[in-house]
Amino acid sequence: MKRIAVAGASGYAGGEALRLLLNHPGYNRDFTIGALTGGSNAGARFGDLVPALPALASKRLEETTPEILGEHDAVILALPHGVSAALAKDLPEHVSIIDCGADFRLKNASAWERYYGTEHAGTWVYGIPELPGNREAIARARTVAAPGCYPTGATLAAAPGIVGRVMAPQVSVVSVTGVSGAGKKPAVNLLGAETMANLRAYSVGSHRHTPEIKQNLEQLVEDTDGVHVTFTPILAPLTRGILSTVTAPARGSASDVRHAYESFCADEPFLHLLPEGQQPETRHVMGSNMVHLQVEVTDGMIVATSAIDNLTKGTAGAAVQCLNLMQGWPETAGLPQTGL
């Protein structure tokens, strides 16, 4: 039986990963949950910090060290950006690692250094299985970089059109998100008084997920010089959820575009193309690993919309989906396809 550890277990992403693992059909059959680790919370009783998971309430958070994590078969790292790289290099070769942070997502070292301000640690297999070739690569990998939440929604809204050659890869992305994507670290701009009854764009033209979205779209085309991405994130008074709209020039008729999206989504268990005229809503994907999609063509432009739960498909659900592939378990195991 495998042992799985979660680092950063008391954070939003770590707690969500544990929720999914506890409901996984392989729990206590194919794997057990081992160490739950934290930083400043080391030594605390897990149930005092995350009461929603009573099955793990009596466990104590341990320190996040290579020695503790190295005793496991697989590790999910739900840590702040820049922390995973130093930790991962000291883990033994037998440990499978899924990193929910950004440390190993980008291929371009200069892009990493520009947006994150530290030395590039390298590149791991990228954890969106729905992109061409990724599912097979994830299944063979020992280390996988789970995608960012914004790039997940934006990429999967655009990918069907680009793969089907009906969307020009010059995209404008606008994403509305809830506050849990920023993690639990206290910040004035995330206080209730700052976010309730308010919408605010932030990091316009400089958000760290912009190069990740662009990298994903470049994977889908031959001429990467033709890929252009603008990204505007908007903070909304939601706990969880991301609604993304991708606008780009159409390279076919409305029926061609619709057919491309239908073909791309047909065999994907977590992609749901809604009937024409019905728009995605974040409330319908909350708690699920689904991506709800819609696509329209108007005045020569494609408008593709996606809704995801940023903590599930956008982070922890993607990590468990990759873990399933890496361990040879059914890809959908433990991942809800129905929203709350």
Class of the CATH-defined domain 150-308:
alpha beta
Residues 78 and 17 sit within 8 Å (Cβ to Cβ): yes
User: CA 68, CA 63: separation in Å to the nearest integer?
Assistant: 8
User: CA 138, CA 145: separation in Å to the nearest integer?
Assistant: 10
Spatial neighbors of 129 by CB under 8 A, at least 6 apart, are: 135, 138, 321, 322, 325, 331
Residue 141: per-residue pLDDT: 98
Domain with CATH 3.30.360.10 in the chain: 150-308
Residues 61 and 44 sit within 8 Å (Cβ to Cβ): yes
Render pLDDT for 183-214 as a digit per residue (tens, 0 to 9). Answer: 877 888 888 889 899 999 999 999 999 999 99
Residue 148: per-residue pLDDT: 97
Look up tokens 């400043």; give the residue: 40
Residues 16 and 76 sit within 8 Å (Cβ to Cβ): no
Residues 22 and 321 sit within 8 Å (Cβ to Cβ): no
Active-site residue list: 149
Residue 246: per-residue pLDDT: 98
Q: Is 277 left (phi over 0), alpha (psi -120 to 50) or beta?
A: left
Residue 254: per-residue pLDDT: 97
pTM given for the model: 0.96
User: CA 277, CA 32: separation in Å to the nearest integer?
Assistant: 44
Domain with CATH 3.40.50.720 in the chain: 2-146+315-327
- Per-residue pLDDT of the chain in tens (340 residues, 90 and over written 9): 999 999 999 999 999 999 999 999 999 999 999 999 998 899 999 999 999 999 999 999 999 999 999 999 999 999 998 899 999 999 999 999 999 999 999 999 999 999 999 999 999 999 999 999 999 999 999 999 999 999 999 999 999 999 999 999 999 999 999 999 888 778 888 888 898 999 999 999 999 999 999 999 999 999 999 999 999 999 999 999 999 999 999 999 999 999 999 999 999 999 999 999 999 999 999 999 999 999 999 999 999 999 999 999 999 999 999 999 999 999 999 999 999 8
User: CA 119, CA 97: separation in Å to the nearest integer?
Assistant: 20
Q: Does domain 2-146+315-327 have CATH number 3.40.50.720?
A: yes
